Structure 1
Amino acid sequence: MNIAAATNQNLADISNVLIYSAMAVYALAFFAHVGEWVFGSRSRVATTSAALTPGQAAGADAPAVTVTVKQRGGGTAVLERPKVVTRTPGGGREVPDGPGAAGGDEQGDVYGRVAVSLTVLAFVLHAGGVLTRALSVERAPWGNMYEFSTTFSMVAVASYLGFLVAGKNVRWMGLPLITTVLLDLGLAVSVLYTDSDQLVPALDSYWLWIHVSLAIACGALFYLGAVATVLYLFRDRYEAKLADPSGPQPGSFAHSVLARLPAASSLDKFAYRVNAAVFPFWTFTIVAGAIWAESAWGRYWGWDPKEVWSFITWVAYACYLHARATAGWKGRKAAYLAIAAFLCFLFNYYGVNIFVDGLHSYSGT
């Protein structure tokens, strides 16, 4: 136990400097991502529009894919077949991922490389700020809302970079991720900031490392799933407009941006897989919190506001996964459920801690 340990103010000050430095580099990464989306790969944006042309879906006037085949005895034969757009068993459009660096087929885009490099540098500074904050008080760096927020955004960026290292092309997530990370850190340093200090007795437990770290990790991954879901809604509407030439068509700006996203089906699948993978860990987070509550307060469950909204979040994600698995809800209906579930998590994260009095009020600002 470290209740009596002194605070190392020098390390606390270094932590603050590192967090502000990370924000500055994240801002540069933000502008680099904007450059990637605005200037990168404009010459290939029409690929998605062509792929969604109804005539091509029927195989009518689709551009040919040329295949050269070697024949016995020498010589070659040229075979051509139309490029078609297939449909999923549920009737959805099965289209290729969008072109450009954000879509996955322009690996050499200079803006994207710069953006990712700056994100890595900012993450290193960010992680250093979280680590030195922990060292300044010799405890887990999530004892209040400021520390929770800085760690939360750090884990979100780490998850994003982890997908990139694993070979997953998720650069399309870079711009919304960095934007929200800057907003989160700005709120943390301006509204939620708390001086580095020791824990209140109720938090001084090894369960802090288990329960709260799991909550942070689950929330960061739920956030990535929510980003994919929101982008799916935009991309799906964009594809629907292109598939219906008699209706209103996307504007030039919307076309140049949304064409670089992965296909709507890819975004929907990514969001579902992330949420499904995280849900068991969120379940264990609630169970771990109940065990800690029994140790700290003598009861497993007391309908404290934090407990209630954690359970509501669990129910919301359970409904989303159940609807996908049994009722066959895919697409926009499932997306609305997923967004509602993440909004429940956000209210549990901000609203309950800041605006609602309860046993968890000590972790507020």
Structure 2
Amino acid sequence: MTNRAIRLHARNDLRLETAPDPAPGPGEVRVAVRAGGICGSDLHYWADGGIGTIRVREPIILGHEFAGHVESLGPGVTGLAAGDVVAVNPSQPCGACRFCDEGQPHHCLHMRFTGSAMFLPHEQGGFRDRITVAAGRCARLSPGTDPARAACAEPLAVCLHAAAQAGDMAGKRVLVTGAGPIGALCTAVARARGAAEVIVTDLQDATLAIAARMGATHTVNVASEPQGLTAEEAEKGRIDIAFECSAAAPAIETALRCLRPRGTLVQVGVAGTTPLPLNLMVAKEIAFLGTHRFGPEFAEAARLIDEGLIDVGPILTHAFAPEDCEAAFATAQDRSQAVKVQIRF
């Protein structure tokens, strides 16, 4: 049986080809992939040939947000059975470096991350019909759970880790800047964690409409409503916690202006060197926190999706067949219409 794979050879050179299909060894399972979400990092690899200093140096199968059904089990696997719906954790920490020893495996010095070009050889990704992985990387969901929703466990885990950085949100006023997939999921997490209000900003009405469905109490298109946050900036700011999901310098400054003194800004979006208004940050004693990937939050994300406690359905705006992968990537790049685009196998 052919194992189709979406492989990037170089910038703007995406091909549907065949990939190896090894039988699962001891402790492994073969997963029939049903859905894979296109992430911002996938788009950077495709459009720019890399992310920052990381360059694509050999053909790479993209995709790290994926889920499917267990097809077969290798020797010694317990807790899983053929047919199980599973979300696959893309993180593969070494378990032996000092950060792994300190209980911070997401900062592993030798992290292998599915679909990543950080190391050579590259870590091949999940945009393919079947993939063999360690059984321990699979989070099992209920039989009736749609794999398309299960594939959102990875981005949701990112947002759960960001929420852990922010601390208690019960009764708080929260601002989310950027209404892409991560911004929309941060919105849902904030509401689930008891935020009294969640205000979401973006440049596109279509993505803001999705954010409203994900739990935003108020949305502001900062392009058409440049004064839309004036009330939040009053009296040194009225926002308790901000999740900055765009990595755009104007959005970061807006978030800082809206935060009250001693408020918290969690920087979720990533980019290159970005100017920051340090005077404002210092004068208001802002807690500026980074957030990087996730650890045990992946299992929590799968559970929340499985139990319907966070509905990821609204962000799933487009789905494409593998044969239409180029159209899928082009659509995912169009922020005026797309939030989360998936490839369905």
Identify whether the pair has TM-score above 0.5, normalized to the shorter chain: no
Name the structure, 1 or 2, with higher relative contact order (CA <8 Å, separation 6+): 1
State the TM-score, normalizing by the size of structure 2. 0.25
Q: Which has the higher strand share?
A: 2
| Larger gyration radius, structure 1 or structure 2 | 1
Q: Which has the higher helix share?
A: 1
